[in-house]
Amino acid sequence: MKLFIFTPILLALGVCSVSAGSWHHRPGGKPGSSSIQADDFIKVDGMRLKDSSGNIQYLTGINYWACLNLAADADQGGQYYRFITELDQLQAVGINHLRIMAGSEGNPTHQPFRMYPAMQPSPGEYNEKIFVGLDRCLAEMARRGMRATMTLNDQWQWSGGFAQYVSWTHGNEKLEYPPSWNLSAPPQRPGPPGRGWGNYTTTGDWNNYTTYGNQIYTDAPAETLFKAHIDKVLNRKNTVNGRVYKDDATVMSWQLANEPQPQVPKVFLGPYGLQLPPNPNDPLLPWIDRISTYIKQRAPKQLITVGFEGKQGEWYWKKVHEPKNVDYTTTHCWVQNWGVYDMNNASAANLQAAKDFATEFITNSSRWANEIGKPVFLEEFGMARDNWENDVSKGEYQYASTATTTHKDNYYKHIIGLAMDSFKSQSGGYVGTCPWAYGGNYRPETQHENKFGEVWAGDPPHEAPGWYDVYDTDEALNIVAEQKKEIDSFLSK
C-alpha cells in the first residue's frame, strides 16, 4: 500500500502451503462485553475518538487488507481456518482495529500484481463469494471487539483501483505497470514451480502510473462507477449477522482510497525530495470533497477519512483533510520506500536515520492535526527484517523470514512510542497506530501460489512477499501488546 520511489517494488501470486485451510465453521473470539454492538458508533470529539458511551478510544490496529479473500470459501482461494486463527491471534494481543479492503477490481484479461479473485470483476458485477468473505470479516471482527477502516479504492495496482476504473471507462485500455514483483521471474526457489522467489520485471514509470490513475478525479464515467461501488458496499446486508454495513458500528470509517496522490509535480521539494509545491487547482481536492460528501449523505453514522500519507508536506496534508465531511486525518510513514533507510545496512547510524525521520514526521503531523483540529491516525508504517543477513549471492531469498528483526523492533517501539506520547499529551493528536501488515502464519519459505496465482503474504501482490510482513511469532506483536497495556493504564487513571 505504498508508493515506492527509490527502490523497485512488488510481488506476485500464490497461497501458503501450510494452511490450505478447508472451510471450518469454527466461531472464534470471546463474545460478550468486548463485542461491538451494531449501534455503538465512534464519534470524533475534538482531538479524541469516543464510543457512544463517551469512552475515549485508542486504535491498536494492524493492516489486514486481504481479509475478504482469506475469509472466502476455499474454491475462491480462501483460507478460512487461517483467517479465524489470525483474528484470534490479533485479539489475544489487544488489537481492536483492522484496516481492510472493501473493494478490488478485475479486468477482462487476467492482470498481474493483483488480488484475485476480484470483488468486482467488471463494472457493477460482484463476486458474491468474495463479498461473503467481507461479511465474515466484519462479523468475526464484531465478535472480537475490532472495528474496521474500510478502504474503498486504491491508487496502486495491487487491488485494481483507480487505474482499473479509468481503464474500464477507456475501453479497457492497457495498463503500463511500474516496477512490480514477479513471483515467476528468476531466481526461482528450487523445487516444483509456483513457489517463488522472483524479481521485479515490469519497467513502467511510477509517476506515469500515478498520472494515469489520477484521471479518476476528472473522468465522470469513472466517478459514476466508483459511486455505484460505494452504494453497493454501504447498502450491503451482511449475510452472517444481518447488519447493513452503513448501520454497523463495526465499520468505524469509510476510506476514500489507499494513498490517493496529488497531481505529479514538476519538482519535488524538501530535504527528502518528497514534498510537493502547493497546487490549489489540483483536481484531487474537489474530488475528496465530492466523494466524502457523497458517502456522508448515505452513511451519516460512520466516520470518513481520505487515506493520505502526508509525505507531500504540510500544505497538501492540510488541504486534503480540510473538507467538512472528512472526520479525521491519517499518516503513512515509509522510511525505506522514501529513501531514508536501507534494509541491507546493519549500522546503528542507518537505524538512527530512520528513527530521526519518524520523530520529525510524527511531530510535524501531530502539530498539523492540532492546527486543523482533527485527530490523526498512523495507519501505515513498516520496516523490513534484518535482511543484510540474507546472502542473495548464495541463493538465499532477500526477504527470508529467518532474518532477525533487531532494527524493526527498535523502530516499532520508537514510532509507536511517539504516537502514544502524542495521544497522552495535553492537546492530543495521534489516536492510534496500524502497522503494515499482518502475515500471520504465512512464510516465504513455505509459500505456494494457489490457482489464482496468489500467496497472501502480508505484502500485497505487487511487492516482494515477506518484505514488511508481521508474522505470528514476531516480536512486533509483543510491542503491540505492550502498547495496549500502556494505553489502558493511561486511560484508567
Q: Which residues contact ligand NAG by CB under 6 A?
A: 112, 176, 182, 184-187, 199-202, 204-205, 208, 270-271, 345, 347, 349-350, 353, 357, 360-361, 364
Q: Closer to ligand NAG by CB, 245 or 430: give it.
A: 430
Least distance in Å: CB of 335 to ligand NAG? 10
Least distance in Å: CB of 442 to ligand NAG? 21
Q: Closer to ligand NAG by CB, 11 or 101: give it.
A: 11
Q: Closer to ligand NAG by CB, 187 or 278: give it.
A: 187
Q: Closer to ligand NAG by CB, 248 or 379: give it.
A: 379
Task: Tell me the pairing of strands 251-255 and 303-305.
Answer: parallel
Task: Tell me the pairing of strands 430-433 and 376-381.
Answer: parallel
To the nearest 10 degrees (0 to 180), the angle between helices 406-424 and 475-491 is 10
Q: H or E segment at 448? A: strand 447-448
Least distance in Å: CB of 393 to ligand NAG? 10
Q: Closer to ligand NAG by CB, 214 or 292: give it.
A: 214
Least distance in Å: CB of 483 to ligand NAG? 22
Distances (CA, A) of 207 to 155, 210, 211: 12, 5, 6
Least distance in Å: CB of 105 to ligand NAG? 17
Length of the chain: 493
Least distance in Å: CB of 207 to ligand NAG? 7
Q: Closer to ligand NAG by CB, 273 or 286: give it.
A: 273
Does 187 sit behind a cis peptide bond, omega within 30 degrees of 0 on the bond before it? yes
Q: Closer to ligand NAG by CB, 97 or 385: give it.
A: 385
Residue matched to cell numbers 486463527 = 85
Q: Closer to ligand NAG by CB, 302 or 366: give it.
A: 366
Helix ranges (DSSP H) in 184-310: 206-213, 220-234, 284-298
Least distance in Å: CB of 373 to ligand NAG? 19
CA–CA gap between residue 215 and residue 119 (Å, rounded): 22
Closest by Cα among 315, 325, 307 to 261: 307
On whether the CB atoms of residues 246 and 299 are closer than 8 A, the answer is yes
Residues with Cβ within 8 Å of 181's Cβ and at least 6 positions away in sequence, in order, are 9, 10, 11, 12, 113, 198, 199, 200, 461, 462, 463, 464, 465
Least distance in Å: CB of 103 to ligand NAG? 23
On whether the CB atoms of residues 415 and 362 are closer than 8 A, the answer is yes
Q: Closer to ligand NAG by CB, 56 or 353: give it.
A: 353
Burial 101-138 (b: 16+ CB within 10 A, else e): bbbbbbbeeebbbbbbbbbbbebeebbebbbbbbbbbb
CA–CA gap between residue 430 and residue 420 (Å, rounded): 7
Least distance in Å: CB of 127 to ligand NAG? 23
Least distance in Å: CB of 205 to ligand NAG? 3
Q: Closer to ligand NAG by CB, 184 or 336: give it.
A: 184
Classify 105 as helix, strand or coil. Answer: strand
Closest by Cα among 155, 151, 158, 71 to 106: 158
| Residue 327: all three cell numbers together | 472526520
Residue matched to cell numbers 465512534 = 42
